[in-house]
Amino acid sequence: MNAPLERSGTLILRVWVDGDALRVRVLRSIGARQAPAIAVTTTEEVHLAVQAWFDELLRRDS
C-alpha cells in the first residue's frame, strides 16, 4: 500500500501602494520548486495569480 503524496506550497504577496498605484510582488512555490516572481498592479491580476497557484497545487497529475 502506497502512502498518499503530500503536496504543499508557499504563496507570498508583498503589497504596497506607490502614490495612487497598487504594486504587488507574487512569490510562489510548490514543493521544492520555486517559480519566478511576478509583479502585478491590479486586484484582478492578483486574483488570477492566486487562482493559478491553487490550480497548480491541486493538480493531481504533477
pLDDT in tens, 15-43: 999 999 999 999 999 998 899 999 999 99
Burial 39-53 (b: 16+ CB within 10 A, else e): ebeeeeebeebeeeb
More reliable by pLDDT, 1 or 22: 22
* Residue 44 falls inside a structural domain: yes
Extract long-range pairs of 54-61: CB within 8 Å, 24+ residues apart. Answer: 56/9, 56/30, 57/7, 57/9, 57/30
46 pLDDT tier (thresholds 50, 70, 90): very high
- What's the total number of domains in the chain? 1
**62 alpha-carbon distance from chain centroid:** 16
Domain span including residue 23: 9-58
* Residue 28 falls inside a structural domain: yes
* Residue 46 falls inside a structural domain: yes
